[in-house]
Copies of this chain bind each other. A is one copy, B any other.
Amino acid sequence: MKFSPLVDELIQSLRCLPGVGPKSAQRMAFHLLERGRPAGKALADVMGRAMSEVGHCRSCRTFTEQELCPICDSSRRGKSDTICVVETPADVLAIEAGGHFSGRYFVLLGHLSPLDGVGPEELGLSLLEEHLAGGEVSELILATNPTVEGDATAHYIADIARRYQINISRIAHGVPVGGELEYVDSTTLALAFTGRQSL
């Protein structure tokens, strides 16, 4: 048996959210209909606006509905001479949660993956090169993910940045704080030894 068309359609549509299967979708739909109509209406409105209005920051490519994101637009950080290159807007949020970095970002929105048709142009590397050529950047921190593709992307960007006499660094890889050596994989351990720092 199916519900009324509109209720069915709501359950089906909710499955476009990541991690939501048929049962969760049904639970969400009934929850909204039973106890969350004002919140559901507000969500529908915000989602509709966000889907059509949110674009990318002209300077760093993160998500924003304005021309510049709050960081690029801030007088303190927007002209910072340190740029941190990350793969996704969520990475920006993770780094900002720490509060230790006060430069600006450049968001690739992916990583080099020729088989999927993702090349330098898709990652906005010409825009990044404009920033570097502008002479306002003194350090480029490559914080792409420690995966094969992330590493390849970091090396590719480092090759570009070398043309402009800029300090280039890659974030450290090693044993995470609070982790136990016993449970750390061998590649990470090897990197932790290679990257050891004198005391």
Contacts and interface: CB of A to CB of B under 8 A. Distances in A.
Contacts of A90: 26-27, 30
Interface string A109-151: 1000000000000000000000000000000000000000000
Q: How many subunits of this chain does the assembly comprise?
A: 2
A34 to B, nearest CB: 7
Contacts of A48: 41, 44-45, 48
A65 B5 contact: yes
Q: Is the interface of A mostly helix, strand, loop or mixed?
A: helix
Given A1-B93, A19-B24, A31-B17, A6 B53 contact: yes
Contact of A16 (B33, B40, B50): B40
Contacts of A42: 13, 16
Contact of A54 (B4, B17, B71, B88): B4
A89 interface: yes
B17 A28 contact: yes
B63 A13 contact: no
A18 B13 contact: no
Contact of A47 (B4, B32, B65): B32
Contact of A44 (B2, B4, B34, B51): B51
A7 interface: yes
Interface in A83-119: 88-90, 92-93, 96-97, 109
A168 interface: no
Task: Give the 10 A-B CB pairs with smallest separation, nearest first.
Answer: A1-B96, A16-B39, A44-B48, A44-B47, A4-B64, A13-B43, A6-B65, A10-B50, A40-B51, A18-B31
